[in-house]
């Protein structure tokens, strides 16, 4: 008699997981064999899982990861020079706790964005805030935000996330304004958050991609010196995948 009112009350209280567990127990004929403490523990466990899943969905939605990549699906055998030992350490996430950075360098198609998004997805699963940004579009968005009064708010959002992914850095030389924006971002995040940068451009040439030498020195000092590095090489994995499909 009290089962349905209890279910409705749990839903009203926002205890969706417990409500689902109660309904499942109600449909199990042998559930009465379990002690009350065991049954309530099962309901609490279900509620905890339900809340964790909701938080993960929210974090992933905010992160806007470009690739649906997970660390467990990364192809460790692909011939691209991936440092497997370092990547396993990166998956563990301690470097994020220490506010260190990661630079992923390599030619187009070797999976730089995929690896970055896989690490971003793992960080979301570890209850960390993550935000993915393609650098060209980020600068366009910051330019628009400067015109309508949202610029400061955007910079604060970029500063607060625990892991920021800057994808496709170095495709074009930064303007003076873009250089100042990037300096603001990396300065706000220095020793406060971690940043992943992916680029086709070797780190030795990054200075050339920033118009103002003084700004370039400041950016690289904050971004590069405490960064892990993954240097990839080899043929495009996209081309290899396309050949496999055609075959």
> Residue 40's pLDDT is what?
84
CA dist 124 and 60 (Å) reads 7
Q: What size, in residues, is the chain?
A: 247
34 pLDDT more than 90: no
Q: How many CB atoms sit inside 10 A of residue 167's CB?
A: 23
81 in the Ramachandran plot: left (φ > 0), alpha (ψ -120 to 50) or beta?
left
101 pLDDT more than 90: yes
> Residue 181's pLDDT is what?
95
Percent of the chain residues past pLDDT 90, beyond the cut: 62
Question: Residues 6 or more apart from 222 whose CB is under 8 A from it?
Answer: 186, 187, 189, 190
Average pLDDT over residues 80-101: 94
More confident residue, 210 or 17: 210
Residue among 112, 120, 133 at smallest CA distance from 201: 112
CA dist 162 and 202 (Å) reads 25
Convert the pLDDT of each residue in 125-172 to its tens digit.
Answer: 999 999 999 999 999 999 999 999 999 999 999 999 999 999 999 989
What is the pLDDT of the chain when averaged over all its residues?
89
Question: Residues 6 or more apart from 225 whose CB is under 8 A from it?
Answer: none
241 pLDDT more than 70: no
228 pLDDT more than 80: yes
7 pLDDT more than 90: no
244 pLDDT more than 50: no
Q: How many CB atoms sit inside 10 A of residue 168's CB?
A: 21
Measured CA angle at 67 (ends 231, 186), to 5 deg: 60
Convert the pLDDT of each residue in 50-75 to its tens digit.
Answer: 888 899 999 999 999 999 999 998 88
| pLDDT level of residue 237 (50, 70, 90 thresholds) | low
Convert the pLDDT of each residue in 156-213 to its tens digit.
Answer: 999 999 999 999 999 899 999 999 999 999 999 999 999 999 999 999 999 999 988 9
Q: How do strand 163-169 and strand 130-134 relate by DSSP bridges?
A: parallel
> Residue 220's pLDDT is what?
95
2 pLDDT more than 70: no
> Residue 239's pLDDT is what?
55
Dihedral angle sign, alpha carbons of residues 236, 164, 139, 63? positive
Average pLDDT over residues 220-246: 74
CA dist 139 and 146 (Å) reads 10
> Residue 1's pLDDT is what?
39
User: Where exactly are the structural domains of the chain?
Assistant: 3-62, 66-246
pTM equals 0.83
Topology (CATH) of 66-246 = Rossmann fold (3.40.50)
């Amino acid at each position: 008699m009290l089962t349905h009112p209890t279910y409705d009350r749990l839903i009203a209280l926002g205890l969706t997981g417990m409500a689902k567990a109660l309904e499942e127990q109600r449909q199990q004929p042998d559930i009465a064999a379990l002690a009350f403490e065991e049954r309530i523990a099962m309901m609490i466990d279900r509620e905890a899982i339900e809340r964790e899943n909701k938080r993960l969905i929210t974090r992933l939605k905010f992160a806007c990861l470009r690739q649906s990549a997970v660390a467990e699906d990364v192809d460790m055998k692909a011939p691209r020079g991936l440092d497997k030992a370092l990547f396993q350490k990166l998956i563990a996430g301690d470097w994020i706790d220490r506010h260190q950075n990661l630079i992923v360098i390599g030619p187009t198609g070797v999976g730089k964005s995929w690896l970055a998004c896989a690490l971003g997805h793992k960080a979301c699963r570890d209850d960390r805030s993550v935000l993915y940004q393609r650098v060209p579009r980020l600068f366009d968005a910051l330019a628009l935000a400067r015109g309508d009064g949202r610029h400061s708010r955007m910079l604060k959002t970029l500063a607060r996330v625990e892991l920021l992914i800057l994808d496709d850095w170095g495709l074009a030389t930064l303007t003076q304004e873009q250089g100042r924006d990037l300096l603001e971002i990396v300065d706000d995040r220095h020793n406060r958050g971690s940043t992943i940068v992916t680029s086709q451009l070797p780190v030795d040439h990054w200075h050339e991609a920033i118009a103002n030498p003084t700004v370039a020195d400041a950016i690289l000092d904050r971004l590069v010196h405490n960064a892990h590095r993954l240097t990839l090489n080899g043929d495009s994995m996209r081309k290899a995948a396309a050949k496999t499909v055609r075959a």
